[in-house]
Amino acid sequence: MTQVLPLPSTFFGSNAITSPSISQTTSAAGVPQSASSTSSQSSSGLGSLTSNDFLQLLVTQLTNQDPSNPVDPTQMIAQTATLTMVQDLQSLQQSVAQLQQSQAVAQASALISQQVTYQDSSGNSQSGLVSSVSVGPSGPLLNIGGAQVPLSQVTQIS
């Protein structure tokens, strides 16, 4: 059985060209499966849904459900729990990434005024004194004799 539920344009931002919908089908085993379909989505996509958007979606789903075959309350609870879990995992992932970057900067900063050996871009070993640290898009960069060296290229600390 397939139910097509229209979504308000706020779910996809003001840049959405078409009105998207979510189809909910039930597999042969009776497990609900959802699929999102649009001919054009905004750049933010479904990843930008907030908990308020989810609640609006849930109300829309309840409003448009078939009265002779209502949604099982355990499915709604499972959907809500899944949303919460996904939000928590995204938050945890961001926190871990920030922690990793902070640790790498702290490691690089500890090398200031230290003599290090590193591999240059051609694979040759070079040595020098770390004079400063900067943070680039790929992580901390050590300033060694005017050269910007990624922390990952350091092979020895003297």
The answer to whether residue 6 sits within a structural domain is no
Cα separation, 67 vs 50, in Å, equals: 28
Q: What is the pLDDT of residue 146?
A: 92
The answer to whether residue 31 sits within a structural domain is no
* Poorest-pLDDT segment among 14-23, 63-72, 97-106: 14-23
The answer to whether residue 117 sits within a structural domain is yes
Cα separation, 104 vs 120, in Å, equals: 20
The answer to whether residue 153 sits within a structural domain is yes
Is a pLDDT exceeding 80 seen at residue 48?
A: no
Q: What is the pLDDT of residue 132?
A: 96
Angle, CA 103 vertex, CA 98 and CA 107 arms, to 5°: 150
Q: Per residue in 93-105, pLDDT tens?
A: 999 999 999 999 9
State which residues form the domain around 143. Answer: 112-157
The answer to whether residue 145 sits within a structural domain is yes
Q: What is the pLDDT of residue 127?
A: 95
Q: Please report, rounded to a whole number, the percentage of residues in the chain having pLDDT higher than 70.
A: 68
The answer to whether residue 40 sits within a structural domain is no
The answer to whether residue 81 sits within a structural domain is no
Domain total for the chain? 1
The answer to whether residue 51 sits within a structural domain is no
Provide the token pair at 118. Answer: 């590193």
Is a pLDDT exceeding 70 seen at residue 144?
A: yes
